[in-house]
Copies of this chain bind each other. A is one copy, B any other.
């Protein structure tokens, strides 16, 4: 029997299948006054302000169908948005989902995407409040997520508040998603539909999974860091050195990272799967990790955060053991 495609359903039929999938995610700190189905959603903003971010994933650019299941794509799309909310010191409270897809897209794929979105929405206690469906050209599938958050009366933690003398700390992993991407690119990775192929190594599997799903960054530590007095914070989207460079430039501080602390993060599974040199390269420049990096006054680092270095009065750049690290980066349009 041929697969059912979006073009086989009316928009109303598709929505009727999607709504129950999303209904599984319940709210956390903010009440959903009006959920999906009206012109717009209404969400309580108990802290008197609202935190907002949007991030898009495009098939063939941000994921490959031969690597990632639709569930994994949906999960990752939510995680990267929720991490941005956490990096302001806020708690996620809701999501909007815009899907633009080739009408030839299989309905099961769209439902799998929704299940992945709903699964991450449940983990984050950020229910799907509404969304939009659009058709797109042949082969095109794009999911744009908007995440909403609440600061609970806290001041937001920006990128521009780091001061010389502050320490730099990370909460969460480093280099795992980038390491997984390297393994997938080198055809050493496990993909969602070939769990036993390519490699018998558990560590390889885990790294590739981290790349495909974005895992479960410690987003509840964003508000913890804010309450502890974090002077700046960012989530790791484009790699430790690039993202800390943003804090350095915005705050006008130098950042000196401790090579020994970084090598501790590179040791273990990353080095086992990639070798020591590539593991260190991923710790410094691997993207899409979505761990939180923040600066604190010395002695104010919360439990669960790990010291990586310190801020200086030097030029706004990132150094490792006093030297400029060689890192690669990702640019959306130049690739």
Does any Cβ of B come within 8 Å of A280's Cβ?
A: no
- Check B333 against A136 for contact (C-beta < 8 Å): no
Residues on the B chain within 8 Å of A14, using CB: 333
Q: Which of A124-132, A252-260, A307-315 contacts B (4 or more CB under 8 A)?
A: A124-132
Closest-by-CB residue of B relative to A105 is B333
User: Are B10 and A96 touching (Cβ within 8 A)?
Assistant: no
Flag if A132 contacts B149 (CB, 8 Å). no
Using a CB-CB cutoff of 8 Å, which residues 281-335 of chain A contact chain B? Answer: 331-335
List B contacts of A41 (CB < 8 A).
Answer: 51-53
Number of copies of this chain that the complex holds: 2
Counting CB contacts under 8 A, is A199 at the interface? Answer: no
Complex CA–CA separation, A57 to B14 (angstroms): 19
Contacts A51-B40, A103-B335, A134-B332; A56 near B98 (Cβ below 8 A): yes
> Is there contact, CB below 8 Å, between A61 and B135?
yes
Task: Give the docked Cα–Cα distance between A178 and B156 (Å).
Answer: 45
Q: How many residues on the A side are at the interface (Cβ–Cβ under 8 A)? A: 76
Contact A148 B52 (CB under 8 A): yes
Contact A38 B85 (CB under 8 A): no
Q: Output the residue of A11, A140, A148 with the most chain B CB within 10 A.
A: A140
Residues in B with CB closer than 8 Å to A153 are: none
Residues of A within 8 A of B (CB): 6-7, 9-11, 14, 33-34, 37-62, 83-85, 87-88, 90, 94, 96-98, 100, 103, 129-137, 139-140, 142, 144, 146-149, 151, 156, 158-159, 233-235, 250, 331-335
